[in-house]
Amino acid sequence: MEIRNSRPLDSLYTTFDYIARNKDKAMPKSITRTYSRYTREACSLLGGLIRAARKEHKLTVQEVADRAGVSRGLLQRIEKGDLKCEIGVVFEVATIVGVQLFDTDESTLRKHIRQTEDKLALLPKSVRKKTRVVHDEF
Amino acid sequence: MEIRNSRPLDSLYTTFDYIARNKDKAMPKSITRTYSRYTREACSLLGGLIRAARKEHKLTVQEVADRAGVSRGLLQRIEKGDLKCEIGVVFEVATIVGVQLFDTDESTLRKHIRQTEDKLALLPKSVRKKTRVVHDEF
DNA sequence: TGTTTATGGTTTATATATGAAACAAAGGAG
DNA sequence: CTCCTTTGTTTCATATATAAACCATAAACA
């Protein structure tokens, strides 16, 4: 077998490690997610707002992708409302083209974060579910 | 080398295929993303809102994770504002615990989608950047 | 109209997010 | 105080999202 890769040994070592680690592990199951209509439509709307904002700023898909440090294909998926993109990247792109998340500026955002932290501090640390069965057979 | 996996041959075949396919391909570069402060804070706020809403509904992390069809660990990352989660999952969890995205109900959301589509229909299909150099040396 | 460029699809190989399990610690309920 | 459950971590193997490279088409502008 001829290896012409720029990092051939790394690849081989990784492969052998992979085999060694795998020898007695169980296989995980494949996942198919379901999304509510509201979720799908919210993502679709966010993508549409991003696309509209980008065009209003007369920016090319490639330009926005470059600014976000992201590939052109990924940005196109985001604008189509693809559900399986990193939320950080989607939010970053939205910020770049000027789509406000939460309809607030940065200082208001920070105020909301503080309010949420305060509210969380008042709530119980853990949620108790099962009320113990009362033994009253006496 | 001893293989005791439940699907040992599959693993081996996959591995050999991997080596065969890789022999003359370039290695992609590793990606380290940067996020703006606004993006990080927006994700953090959303996670906090989800955690607060979950506790107000007296729901366990495990319960919400089950309803969303997601692992407990992932939900905890979402509530911590992790940027590298699928946006669909984050939005789904938000919907489950009652955090409104875009601060609108479903019908209003659909109205906004229609408005965005209308706006997009009016905008040019593609953004032209370079104005051709005018040849007027006559 | 012709030409150039943007967009929208592919495909392929990696990088990495996710699920699962195990563990410790802590916080409520009794 | 004493359980028992929830939470918060960690590790690891796979499933899958992403980058990169194509090609085809469409659309803007001279």
* Contact call for A38 and B109, based on CB within 8 A: yes
| Residues of chain A found within 8 Å of residue B124, distances taken between Cβ atoms | 55
pLDDT of residue A138: 37
* Contact call for B19 and A11, based on CB within 8 A: yes
Cross-strand pairs, A86: B86
Regions in chain A scoring below 50 on pLDDT: 1-28, 132, 134-138
pLDDT in tens, chain B (138 residues): 332 333 333 334 344 444 444 444 434 456 789 999 999 999 999 999 999 999 999 999 999 999 999 999 999 999 999 999 999 999 999 999 999 999 899 999 999 999 999 999 999 999 998 654 544 433
pLDDT of residue A32: 83
Instruction: Please tell me whether any atom of strand C lies within 7 Å of the Cβ of B66.
Output: no
> Which SS3 state, helix, strand or coil, does residue A131 take?
coil
Residue A73 · residue A40 · CB < 8 Å: no
